[in-house]
Amino acid sequence: MSLYSRIKLLTAGLLLGGLSSTYFSPLYGQGLGNSPYTVLGLGETYSDAFAASQSMGEAGASTSNGIHINNLNPALWVRNRFTSVEFGTIGQYKQIASPTLTQRDFGANLAYLAIVFPATPRWAVGFSLKPYSFVDYESRTTAKVPGTIYDAYYYYTGKGAISKASFTNAFQIGRYLSVGLETSYLFGNVRRASESQLLIGDGRDYLVSRNERTSYSDISFRGGAALQLPLKPDNKLNLNIGGAYSFGTNLNAQQTTSFELSNNTFPVGLPDTLTNNAQGGVYLPSQYRMGVSLEWPFKLTLAADYEHQSWSNYQSFGNTNEGLNNAGRVHVGAEYIPRFTSTRYFDLAAYRLGFSHGKSPYNPGGTQLNDSNVSMGITLPIGSGGNSFTLSLIGGQRGVMSTQAIRERYARVLLGLTLVDRGWFVKPRLD
């Protein structure tokens, strides 16, 4: 491998890293637009799936094509036999509806940044950076104060995010089995504010504000295993079985809470700090994912997964569950490549379809909300070295319209870029 090629790959990786730390850093707090249910727990979590898996309904905990990094299962990173850099962005358009109101919103964010190195033929190491969850909500209400002729104004907001930096080790054991371990550092902060104002209209409309800032940081672990069993000789058909388990994590947390009274935007006295860097914790419950797939290599893959997270075991900073329920979800998907050895460009593309359905952890009014979506996507090669561009489209709905729940209809777009260098860690041979 030439020095120029190595410099080119490193430059691309540093460029993507610079973009993520500069251009996309403000978006980490923005999330994917207003999401009222993020008032609960640590907000809305992002999928572990990268762009290729997202377009298959997030199915694929058992299979990998060896070009794209499959982040659904740490054990599958060892299937990447060449050094690869992956970068993805996500955008979401959402319509939020209640029986009386409708709102449209848009948000965008960095989806992931990852790199994998095949250190030996049976060992791969990788690094990734991605958002873990986001909080983004805003609510305004006006109501009569009981026993008076006056109205009161209430305003609630929340902004923030938790990010996830991971180091993955994956190993091939024997011919059929691979295992992997992901060690992650979770970090970030969330700001929440609640304001109330008595609307008298005589210059005495005092505004009472309560502001809360909570910072999170800690280590988490996720393990995985994958088994590839040949059903036909010469690698013509494989049965794949895989699974991943995320261990429950106690996140360290620090919380500062302040109280402020103002009149016509002018503070009345100094803000009062109620708590300053109070020490506490948040418990993130365990999660598991199991998958099975049939794979005709470089032709067709059919995959199905099931995942479950025990959100009923969640504990907030105040040692409450916040009404969250266990959430299970089914994912199914297919990937098709017309002709891998063809010279026609669109015969080399990978086409994907998928479907996902399950329960969300939210339970307004005692009814747990469903979340369903369909997906489709395409991977277009860039040259002949494995570089590619992936487009994934997802459309779905969460919840229903009722007096205690809202309906969210969303459309997501993921753009992924994969850069592959076949010369790293490969010993040159002389004939």
- Say if CB 293 and CB 302 are below 8 A apart: yes
Count other C-beta atoms under 10 Å from residue 150's C-beta. Answer: 12
User: Mean pLDDT throughout 365-386?
Assistant: 90
pLDDT, tens digit (0-9, with 9 covering 90-100), for 106-145: 999 999 999 999 999 999 999 999 999 999 998 888 888 7
Among candidate residues 374, 416, 373, 412, the one with its CA nearest the CA of residue 391: 416
Among candidate residues 162, 282, 159, 262, the one with its CA nearest the CA of residue 213: 159
Backbone angles phi, psi at 230, to 5 degrees: -75, 130
CA 352, CA 334: separation in Å to the nearest integer? 6
pLDDT, tens digit (0-9, with 9 covering 90-100), for 270-279: 678 888 889 9
- Say if CB 15 and CB 102 are below 8 A apart: no
Count other C-beta atoms under 10 Å from residue 85's C-beta. Answer: 22
Any idea of the CA torsion for 183, 280, 161, 93, to the nearest 10 degrees?
110
- Say if CB 112 and CB 164 are below 8 A apart: no
Encoding tokens for residue 105?
A: 């919103």
CA 346, CA 336: separation in Å to the nearest integer? 12
Supply the pLDDT for residue 430. 53
What domains lie within the chain, and their CATH numbers? 3-385+392-421 (2.40.160.60)
Q: In sequence order, what are the beta bridge partners of 97? A: 102, 407
pLDDT, tens digit (0-9, with 9 covering 90-100), for 160-207: 999 999 999 999 999 999 999 999 999 999 999 998 887 776 666 778
Supply the pLDDT for residue 23. 40
Among candidate residues 17, 63, 92, the one with its CA nearest the CA of residue 301: 63
H helix count then E strand count, the chain? 3, 18
CA 138, CA 103: separation in Å to the nearest integer? 12
Backbone angles phi, psi at 82, to 5 degrees: -130, 155
pLDDT, tens digit (0-9, with 9 covering 90-100), for 241-254: 999 999 999 999 99
Count other C-beta atoms under 10 Å from residue 362's C-beta. Answer: 26
3 state SS of 128: strand
Supply the pLDDT for residue 359. 94
E-state strands within 174-314: 177-199, 206-232, 237-246, 249-263, 266-267, 272-284, 287-296, 300-309
What confidence tier does 218 reach under pLDDT thresholds 50, 70, 90?
A: very high
User: Mean pLDDT throughout 341-352?
Assistant: 91
The mean-pLDDT minimum among 7-21, 58-72, 130-144, 330-344 falls in 7-21
Question: 353 or 319: whose pLDDT is higher?
Answer: 353
CA 408, CA 96: separation in Å to the nearest integer? 5
Q: What is the H or E stretch that residue 51 is in?
A: helix 51-54
Encoding tokens for residue 99?
A: 């029986």
**Mean pLDDT, all residues of the chain:** 87
What residues contact residue 401 under an 8 Å CB cut-off, 6+ apart?
97, 98, 99, 407
Q: In sequence order, what are the beta bridge partners of 198? A: 152
Encoding tokens for residue 95?
A: 């319509």
